Amino acid sequence: MNWDDLRLFLAVARTGSISGAAKQLGVQHSTVSRRIRQFEEKLGSRLLERKSGRYELTQAGNNVKEASSRIEREVLGVDGALLGKDSQQVGPLKVAALNNMASTVLMPMFASFSQKLPQVELHIIVSNIDASLPQREADVAIRLTNTPTDTLIGKRVVTVASAIYGSPAYLEQLEQQGGEPRWIGVDCCDFHKSWTKQLDKRHSYNFYSDDTQLTHSAIREGLGVSILPCFMGDADPALKRYRDPDPAYNLGLWVLLHPDLKRTARVLAFRDHMIQAINDKKDLFEGELNASV
């Protein structure tokens, strides 16, 4: 069991309803209902019974409530003990971001934050797989998505546009010879993989890439065309757009954090810094050709 499951169960037990718990926790009704079912399945026991329009606890539910309440007191006690430290902009801060963003457009933003607050130990975690904020694998996540996890809190900062790119030499050759472009096969993420399948009906490739930066390098070498986020493609003079951005491939750029960290000073300082810094590069993210890196 994890604390998030227990906290959600306690909210339902105390309010007597799914909607009441959802409102209390600031999540969707469907999330609470689904998570309660999953929690009961994990325990192998019914915890709640619906009677007269309200949820009442079974005997097993009462036992879990008592145990959860004890754990809650311990958690709140720890939070209280750390409040003084967390009110200061010091200590470790783990940030999860996609590699193609962290090592390019976001790196100057990370650097300026570290220079501004040198007492914060900034740890950058890069992966195409979401690090778990509820399990505290990271404190903050910077993610490209149109459907962020509804148990987290955060802000959609800008829209990230994507376009199709090729090397100037390859695109000139394609224009002279005519025909359909040669596509690079991609397995870097579900977004680019599905978009490529939609755009290239042949689905036949002689070069595959499982990383956006590798795809970027392959385009530079004239191996074909592929989709890249505009903050990568437009920033490289060795690439040229084959097609302009399509709004169907827009994604939101979110800065997300766990609700338990919403009053932690270093987390809030980082969140505010990144929102401002990302907004300063809004044209680049949104695919404006005159944007500068």
Strand order in the sheet with 140-145: 120-126, 91-97, 140-145, 251-257, 153-160
Same fold flag, 3-86 and 91-160+250-285? no
Record: fold of 162-249: D-Maltodextrin-Binding Protein; domain 2 (3.40.190)
Secondary structure E strands in 75-183: 91-97, 120-126, 140-145, 153-160, 162-166
CATH code of the domain occupying 91-160+250-285: 3.40.190.10
Contacts 24+ apart (CB under 8 A), 55-60: 55/12, 55/13, 55/16, 55/17, 55/18, 56/16, 57/13
Listed in sequence order, the residues at least 6 apart from 86 whose beta carbon sits closer than 8 Å to its beta carbon are 263, 264, 265, 266
Q: Which of 135, 88, 95 is nearest to 266 (CA)?
A: 88
What would the pLDDT profile of 173-219 be if each residue is shown by its tens digit? 999 988 889 998 887 777 878 888 888 877 777 788 888 889 999 99
Residue appearing with tokens 């829209």: 159
**How far, in Å, are 112, 257, 259, 265, 275 from residue 25 at the CA level?**
34, 14, 9, 21, 24
Q: Over 60: is that where the pLDDT of 132 sits? A: no
**How far, in Å, are 120, 179, 225, 254, 256 from residue 260 at the CA level?**
19, 55, 44, 18, 12
Look at strands 48-51 and 54-57 and give their pairing.
Answer: antiparallel
What would the pLDDT profile of 86-110 be if each residue is shown by its tens digit? 667 888 899 999 888 998 999 999 9
Q: How far apart are CA 99 and CA 168, in angstroms?
A: 26
Average pLDDT, the chain: 85
> Domain limits of the chain?
3-86, 91-160+250-285, 162-249
- Which pTM was predicted? 0.66
Q: What percent of the chain has pLDDT over 90?
A: 41
Domain at 3-86, CATH class: mainly alpha
What would the pLDDT profile of 42-57 be if each residue is shown by its tens digit? 888 999 998 877 889 9
- Terminal CA-CA length for the chain: 45
SS3 content of the chain, % helix, strand, coil (to 5): 45, 20, 30
Q: Over 90: is that where the pLDDT of 278 sits? A: yes
